[in-house]
Each structure stands twice: as structure tokens, then as C-alpha cells.
Amino acid sequence: MIRVLLADDEGMIRSALAALLRLEDDIDVVAECADGREALEEAQRLLPDVCLLDLEMPHLDGVEVAERLKRTTATRCVIVTRHARPGVLRRALASGVAGFLPKSRGADEVAAVIRKVAAGARYVDPEIAADALTDERSPLTDRELDVLRAGAQGQTTGQIARSLLLAPGTVRNHISSVLTKLGVQTRQQATRMAEERGWL
């Protein structure tokens, strides 16, 4: 029997998928969690074979949960997401996630992926993998990426300048260049785009 923990902050999706998976002869849903923190705590307590984790959850996202579990357990993790962006896939694979698929897949496909992952294989949805392979390279310079990274938590221009040992005017020039290249209005939008595309 494959013991599965299911974590999704959307209650209807979580309970419907849990009910469908429980119809499978070889899958036992041992926990249903509504956020990343609860998923981490329950996974460490129950030690399921597979954690099926929504990417976007409160407190900790699915990849953060998977990263922490990898350090302390043998539990294998599968990420499911509504927005399968190539950068997120790269981040997930780098953190040791064993499976990655969109929420548009049916319960029978999800069950098949759970079986593969429980048996030691990895699974990445073919469409997501193709998108990741064809994703464009970053138009930003290394220094522009440094500025975005340094300001990812909302730091001021002055704070970014101090942390990178640059003049505030130089930081402003880099930010202006980033916004122009990416066609966005704010530094926050630029950071989000760079993270989604796997440039940061």
C-alpha cells in the first residue's frame, strides 16, 4: 500500500482528489493538509511514501516543503500546479522533487504518477518539460540579476547599493534597464518574472 499525504489550500480540490485516490486499491491517503506548514509537520510525523503537494500554498509553498522533507525523510514529493512555469520546474527539480504535473490531469493519471514516484522513478509532465526546454534565455546581465536578487525582499535602492557596494545611481540605472528589457512597470513585477522564468 502506498501511503500518500495530500496538501492543497483549495478545500474542494483537496477533498475531491483524496476521495478519488482512496478508490485506488494500492493507495492510502493518510493525511489531507490545507497549507505548507501543516504538510511539513504531518509528513515528518507520519512519514508517508509520497507527498502530493500543491505548488502555491500559504506559509510554505510545495517546493519549500519538498526541500525540507528531503533533508530529514525518505518521503518522495510530487508537485502539482495550475501554473506550470519553466522556472518553477527547474527550481523544483533542483530541490529534489520527484514528480511535477499540472492540476489539469485526471485522478487516474495522478495515481499513475504516484505509483511511478513511489517505485523510485521521476516524472515530469511532457508538456511542461517541452516548455522548459524551449524557454528563452535571460536578457539580463549578471549585474542586473544581482540587483534584482538583492532587492527581492523589497529592499530600498540605498539598501541594495550598500549590499552590492554600488552607488545608488548605478543601482537605479540597472533597475531602469531591467524594467525596459522586461517591459514591466515595477521592480516587483521584474523580480516575479525573473523567478518564474528561472533566471534568479
- pLDDT tens digit at each of 200 positions of the chain: 999 999 999 999 999 999 999 999 999 999 999 999 999 999 999 999 999 999 999 999 999 999 999 999 999 999 998 876 767 787 888 888 999 998 889 999 999 999 999 999 999 988 777 766 666 677 888 889 899 999 888 899 999 999 999 999 999 999 999 999 999 999 999 998 888 777 77
CATH code, domain carrying 54 = 3.40.50.2300
H or E element that contains 78: strand 76-81
pTM over 0.75: no
> Can you give the pLDDT at residue 127?
79
Helix, coil or strand: residue 102: strand
29, 95: one domain:
yes
**Residue 8 identity:** D
> Which pLDDT score is estimated for 140?
87
Residues 50 and 108 occupy one common structural domain: yes
Asked whether residue 120 falls in the same domain as residue 151, the answer is no
Strand-pair partners of 102: 81
Position 128 scores a pLDDT of 77
d(Cα 56, Cα 80) in Å, to the nearest integer? 9
Largest CA-CA distance found in the chain, in angstroms, rounded: 64
- Are 68 and 154 part of one and the same domain? no
Q: Does residue 85 sit in the same domain as residue 159?
A: no
Assess contact for 87 and 198: CB atoms under 8 A. Answer: yes
CB 38 within 8 A of CB 44: no
Query: What sign does the CA torsion over 188, 97, 114, 22 have?
Result: negative
Domain count, the chain: 2
**What DSSP assignment string belongs to 139-181?**
-S-HHHHHHHHHTTT---HHHHHHHHT--HHHHHHHHHHHHHH
Q: Residue 147 is part of a domain; what is its CATH number?
A: 1.10.10.10
In this prediction, residue 82 carries a pLDDT of 81
- Domain identity same for 117 and 147: no
Q: Which domain holds residue 149?
A: 142-196
pLDDT of residue 32: 98
Q: Do 167 and 127 sit in the same domain of this protein?
A: no
Residues 6 or more apart in contact with residue 68 via CB below 8 angstroms: 40, 60
Single-letter amino acid, residue 177: S
Which residues, in sequence order, are CB contacts of 93 under 8 Å at separation 6+? Answer: 100, 124
Confidence at residue 197, expressed as pLDDT on a 0 to 100 scale: 76
User: What is residue 147's predicted lDDT score, i.e. its pLDDT?
Assistant: 93
> Is 8 found in the same domain as 101?
yes
pLDDT at 84: 66
Tell me: do 180 and 119 sit in the same domain. no
Cell of 155: 529592499
Residue finishing a domain among 133, 154, 179: 133
User: Are 123 and 153 members of one domain?
Assistant: no
Q: Are residues 48 and 117 both part of a single domain?
A: yes
Q: Does residue 29 contact residue 21 with C-beta atoms inside 8 Å? A: yes
Are residue 90 and residue 119 in the same domain, yes or no?
Answer: yes
